[in-house]
Every structure is written in structure tokens, then in C-alpha cells.
Amino acid sequence: MIRVQPLRDLIAMSLASAYLKNERSVSVLIIAKPESGKTTILTSFAVNNGVAYLSDITYSGIVNLLSDIQDGKIRTILMPDMLKALGRKEATVENLITLLNALIEEGIKTIATYNYYKEFNTFVRCNMIAAITSTDWFLRKATLGSTGFLSRVIPFSYNYSYEDVEAIFREIIEGKGNDIVFEKVKVGRVGKAGKEITLPVELGERIKENVVKKIVERVNRSLGLDIYGFRLQKNIQTLAKASALLRGDDTVREEDVKKLEYISEWINFDFNIIKESEGGDNSVNERV
């Protein structure tokens, strides 16, 4: 897939964030035009352990997954087309989003409906990586914003350049790029509790100045909000730790922050042209 390494890196970090000790795993919302490769990219990560790949999602469907999430069998939900979940009746959508908000943020302790009740001995949570087309995003961003979902996810929007569009056409004409290249995210032996990663204070400050402030400014401008960015700071720090985990390190280094500084160009709703870093493909994922 042409020039989508920044997105692949973000997805890998999001998946790895579920294996960090004392950190909330980071959820991601991918937004791009139809035919931009969102489904293909998410499908390529579906082979990883702890991943539930869902083509559709409902309230009862999530409830049925909670026991597996509690047991650690499911750590991340991948959803390549969020429109299916958002295309139902307004009340149904709001109930689902409210449940997802709890699942990806503080966790779910009790489920009580008119015909079902279950209480868990701990808060059950996991993260989610979902995708939506730019058209559906513009039609439904009010709902996603008013329900609080947008403040709980890292947005990633992108466009292709004219040159990339032509390159993709050329691949199709030449019969290339038809096979999905699956990617295994390697986190090593971390145990059920996860691995603890240290973030030096000076790198936390650099994240605030070079990443979070830029994202907050752009998100506030796009959505007409006035957020401080506290939750975003926590999420970006967690992604930095996940990057260190993927490298097999127990400490966040400058290279982890540098990667996020670069990826932050698309952590917004601006649909900037996606491109590789000057260093090319520096992914630590194993492609199979």
C-alpha cells in the first residue's frame, strides 16, 4: 500500500499499548476517503493475538465479548467500517457509543438491561481501532462529538497526493498489490499484567510542546472545541511507551518521540497528504 507507513506505525503502537503495565491502551479513529486502503490496512493486523476483528458491532455483541476481554483473550477491537454501527436508529447508536466510551476509557463494571444483568469483579476495558470514510465522518461528527467518543480516541486522517493516486493506478494495471500482507506486532514476553515502561520527564515535556500542543490547536479549530489536551497528553505518552515496547526497550528514547512528532502531522481532522518519513520504512513489525 502506497505511503501509509505512518498509519501502520500508529496501529502497531495502539495494539502494543494494550500490553503496557498501568497504562490505558490507546484507541484510534481512522478517517479517509473511500478506496484509501483503510480496510486493507486494518485487515493486515487482524492476525495478531488478542485482536477481535469485527465487520459490524452492536450493544449485545460488545456485551458478549466482555468475558473474553476480562480474561485477556481480547485486548483490541478492530472495526474496518464504523458506518454499520452508526447507521442505525439514533437511540440505538447513542446507547452503543455510550457503552464503547466506557469500554475504551474507564472500563465496564456492571451491565444491566431489561433482560440481562452481569457484574464483573474488576473494570473490563480494551481499546478499539475503527475506520470511517470522510463523507460519513462529516455526516456523523456531531453525534460522535456530542456523545464524547471523539475525546476518547486518537484521530488519524489522511489524503493521497496526485502522484500517489497515479502510482496506485499503475500497481492495479500491472496486477500488483492484490494480496494482503499480514503484519505481526511483536511485544515480547510481557505477562498478563503487561510490561512497565519508563518515560523520562524531559521527553514527556517534549511530547507536550512538539506533539500535543499542535494537535490540540488543530482539533479545536476543526471541531470548534476548547479542549486542554490532558487526555491527549496521556495517550501520546502511552503511544511513546508502546513504541519503546515494540523496540524491546524498557525506556522511552528520543527515537520514539521523534516518530510521534512525525506521525502527529495526521493526528487531526485536516486530511493532510500522507507520506513516508525521510528515513523510509522503519517499522518494527514482522510482515508475513
Q: Which domain CATH number covers 147? A: 3.40.50
pLDDT of 228 reads: 93
**Does 63 fall in a domain?**
yes
Length of the chain in terms of residues written: 288
pLDDT of 284 reads: 53
The dihedral through the CA atoms of 232, 85, 115, 68 has a sign that is negative
**Does 241 fall in a domain?**
no
Number of domains into which the chain is organized: 1
Q: CA 80 to CA 63: how far, in whole Å?
A: 20
Q: CA 242 to CA 76: how far, in whole Å?
A: 14
Which of 14, 16, 5 has its CA nearest to residue 41? 5
Q: How far does Cα 15 stand from its chain's mean position?
A: 8
Contact, 31 vs 137, CB < 8 A? Answer: yes
Instruction: Kindly give the parts of the chain with pLDDT less than 70.
Output: 1-2, 177-178, 277-288
**Does 161 fall in a domain?**
yes
pLDDT of 283 reads: 54
pLDDT of 226 reads: 86
pLDDT of 280 reads: 42
**Does 253 fall in a domain?**
no
pLDDT of 277 reads: 66
**Does 46 fall in a domain?**
yes
pLDDT of 85 reads: 87
Neighbouring residues of 222: CB distance < 8 A, sequence distance ≥ 6 = 268, 269, 270
Q: 274 by DSSP, 3-state: which?
A: coil
**Does 281 fall in a domain?**
yes
**Does 235 fall in a domain?**
no
**Does 277 fall in a domain?**
yes
Single pTM value for the model = 0.92
Q: Which domain holds residue 135?
A: 5-195+266-287
